[in-house]
């Protein structure tokens, strides 16, 4: 280090020229970094948002007011020293508000990117489903979409190895339809009673407040049906390259009806037209170090630059006979419906072409529920779907209040709401005006409609989960040789530090999925002290590099 603060004059004279040269180099480096940053943000709507606002407004947008609308005098807004604080309404209004600006964070899916756009019908499916959003080819319906890692907290990174939420809200003329899906075609468990357990197993340790892989592998090995999805997560699909290249799946098999009341069963697929792209582990870690908001920034900037992301919307369709003769539980969310047996039927396209104007108002308060269904779409008959109808609604009540559907982003914008709900925490809008507030009534209140071809959701019997065969097919037939090596590497990265009895249980289960998978993980764990395992070509591989 150059002793710039040296007290000895000889030392100062000796090092002064060198220190000046060092400072010049530092200034040049800073200037270069500033130039690079400027060039980077010139085509970055996310980075330039506040500058674009300044250019757009061309002057102050108005007189500053309190939240009650009173204009604020300049001195009250700038200085409080030697003045009465209680009588300064700007001070009182802003200081008391800021400690109330946070609402409860989502327990899962806390961090997210989102945007708005439209869904357009490209193929006629009215013979399958009578929902009006599918009525005619070319019809457009406004949509909102929210994409989110599951476990990551609000301040976390976008490039974690994790499942992603893929939720789409369709603002139809029959009310809002929410498809609350994921970026994997299957889900982690079948029995909804496991929801608190998997969540707590993946969250922070209650004693240390640190993340720990022991609870995760305890859960996975106690509930082996979860390994089907986690094979995908530990594989190349575990870290999407931004949200624009991420597929979505409804995961449930929905019951739908046409105008004649005839039943069909469908699974929703959303395929990015830009192609599916993912990040390797090392690349994701490097991105996280410099841009933890990578996926959110990429989505915002793409839309801001007019590069509107889009997804093809398709369905797999089953008849009632298909359901009965499938040979497996088609309503089991831990399983996929084989595309060879149930090919994709194209339906339409959804496009995101509008960024949120205010993130909190439009994305943080954006509330989804699988129970938001429309005539023609009855939902899934499985217990997980039934449980999600309760859990999601309860979460919105807790976070946003009983009137969360009156928050503008959640309002069914193509419908005049005629509900009998009243009062509660704001927003209440006109609170139902002067209409009757109970049902039934004899005073011309809103009346329920009659569906002469009403169809009830079918009842099913759900057996114990068992998806080892599909997990085997995923490993053998859907993963390339290189991806199989990477999935072993990523599993070892997580499993290598947990208790040995959990490792032993995991090896047994992976061996059931495929002997090769079990063997390679076993070898990797055994060689953990030297950080090596064998790959497909029986070559030693250092999984820490």
**Binding site as annotated, residues for heme:** 392
> Residue-wise over 112-121: b if at least 16 C-beta within 10 A, else e?
bbbbbbbbbb
**Phi, psi (5° rounding) for residue 353?**
-130, 10
Cα gap 329→326, rounded to integer Å: 7
Contacts of 486 (CB under 8 A, 6+ apart): 235, 236, 280, 281
**Phi, psi (5° rounding) for residue 65?**
-135, 165
Indicate the SS3 state at residue 28.
Answer: helix
Burial (CB count <10 Å: 0-12, 13-18, 19+), residue 285: middle
Structure tokens at 257: 């009806």
Q: Among 520, 516, 511, 472, which Cα is nearest to 492's?
A: 520
Structure tokens at 40: 């980077």
Q: Which residues pair with 145 in a beta bridge?
A: 115, 168
- What's the chain's length in residues? 545
Residue 523 backbone class (left: φ over 0; alpha: ψ -120 to 50; beta: rest): alpha
Structure tokens at 456: 């009830």
DSSP secondary structure string for all residues of 209-223: -S--HHHHHHHHHHS
User: Helices 195-202 & 213-222, crossing angle to 10 degrees?
Assistant: 150
Instruction: Provide the 10 A C-beta neighbour count for residue 512.
Output: 15
Cβ-contact 167, 369 below 8 angstroms: no
DSSP secondary structure string for all residues of 164-203: EEEEEEEEEBTEEEEEEEESSSS-S-SSGGGHHHHHHHHS
Cα gap 535→523, rounded to integer Å: 10
Q: Among 280, 42, 261, 51, which Cα is nearest to 161's?
A: 280
Indicate the SS3 state at residue 475.
Answer: helix
Residue positions in the annotated binding site? 392
Cβ-contact 47, 53 below 8 angstroms: no
Indicate the SS3 state at residue 147.
Answer: strand
Instruction: Report the first-to-last Cα separation within the chain, whole angstroms.
Output: 32
Tracing tokens 């060198």 back to the chain, one arrives at 18
Q: Which residues pair with 264 in a beta bridge?
A: 256
């Amino acid at each position: 280090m150059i002793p710039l603060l040296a007290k000895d004059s000889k030392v100062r004279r000796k090092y002064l020229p060198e220190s000046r040269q060092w400072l010049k180099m530092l200034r040049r480096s800073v200037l270069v970094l500033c130039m690079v940053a400027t060039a980077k943000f010139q085509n970055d709507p996310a980075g330039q948002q506040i500058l674009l606002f300044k250019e757009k407004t061309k002057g102050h947008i108005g007189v500053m007011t309190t939240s009650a609308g009173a204009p604020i005098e300049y001195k009250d807004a700038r200085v409080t020293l030697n003045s009465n604080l209680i009588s300064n309404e700007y001070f009182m209004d802003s200081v008391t508000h800021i400690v109330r600006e946070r609402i409860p964070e989502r327990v899962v899916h806390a961090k997210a990117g989102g945007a708005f756009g439209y869904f357009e019908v490209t193929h006629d499916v009215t013979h399958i489903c009578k929902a009006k959003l599918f009525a005619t080819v070319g019809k457009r319906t406004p949509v909102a979409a929210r994409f989110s890692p599951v476990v990551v907290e609000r301040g976390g990174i976008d490039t974690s190895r994790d499942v992603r939420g893929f939720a789409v809200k369709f603002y139809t003329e029959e009310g809002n339809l929410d498809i609350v899906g994921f970026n994997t075609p299957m889900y982690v468990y079948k029995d909804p009673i496991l929801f608190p357990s998997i969540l707590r197993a993946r969250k922070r340790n209650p004693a240390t407040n640190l993340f720990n892989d022991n609870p995760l592998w305890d859960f996975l090995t106690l509930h082996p049906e979860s390994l089907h999805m986690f094979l995908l997560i530990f594989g190349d699909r575990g870290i999407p390259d931004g949200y624009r290249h991420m597929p979505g799946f409804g995961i449930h098999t929905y019951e739908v009806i046409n105008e004649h009341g005839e039943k069909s069963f469908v699974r929703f697929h959303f395929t990015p037209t830009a192609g599916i792209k993912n990040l390797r582990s090392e690349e994701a870690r490097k991105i996280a170090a410099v841009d933890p908001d990578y996926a959110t920034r990429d989505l915002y900037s793409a839309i801001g630059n007019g590069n509107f992301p889009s997804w093809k919307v398709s369905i797999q369709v089953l008849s009632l006979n298909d359901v009965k003769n499938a040979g497996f539980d088609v309503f089991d969310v831990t399983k996929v419906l084989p595309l060879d047996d149930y090919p994709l039927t194209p339906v339409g396209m959804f496009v995101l072409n509008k960024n949120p104007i205010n993130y909190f108002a439009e994305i943080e308060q954006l509330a989804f529920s699988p129970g938001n269904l429309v005539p023609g779409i009855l939902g899934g008959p499985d217990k997980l779907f039934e449980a999600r109808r309760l859990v999601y609604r309860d979460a919105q009540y807790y976070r946003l209040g009983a009137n969360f559907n009156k928050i503008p982003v959640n309002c069914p914008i193509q419908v005049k709401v005629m509900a009998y709900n009243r009062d509660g925490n704001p927003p209440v809008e006109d609170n139902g005006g002067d209409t009757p507030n109970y049902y039934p009534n004899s005073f011309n209140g809103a009346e329920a409609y009659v569906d002469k071809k009403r169809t009830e959701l079918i009842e099913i019997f759900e057996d114990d989960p068992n998806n080892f065969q599909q997990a085997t097919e995923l490993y053998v037939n859907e993963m390339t040789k290189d991806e199989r090596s990477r999935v072993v590497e990523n599993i070892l990265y997580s499993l290598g530090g947990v208790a040995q009895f959990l490792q032993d249980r995991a090896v047994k289960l992976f061996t059931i999925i495929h002997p090769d998978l079990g063997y390679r993980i076993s070898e990797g764990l055994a060689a953990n002290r030297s950080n090596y395992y064998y790959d497909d070509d029986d070559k030693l591989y250092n999984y820490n590099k």
